[in-house]
Amino acid sequence: MTDTKDSPFDPRMLEALICPRTRTTLRYDAEKQELISQSAKLAFPIRNGIPVMLEDEARVID
């Protein structure tokens, strides 16, 4: 059985995911384990390989 804490994010998921605020595409930041919405200036965390696409869980970026 695989440990879910180490489950990597599958970048192919980017084809189906969009920013919940702007409905635009996202960029994957593998180092920070985040999905970046440049248009909304938000970074959505990836936890246990699962993107958390909630605005109140995202951090604001410059």
Token pair, residue 33, equals: 């384990």
> How many other C-beta atoms lie within 10 A of the C-beta of residue 49?
15
| 24-62 pLDDT per residue, tens | 999 999 999 999 999 999 999 999 999 999 999 999 998
Number of domains in the chain: 1
Q: What pLDDT sits at residue 44? A: 98
Q: What pLDDT sits at residue 18? A: 96
Domain that holds residue 55: 4-60
Report the CATH number at residue 25.
2.20.25.10
Rounded Cα–Cα distance for residues 18 and 25 (Å): 5
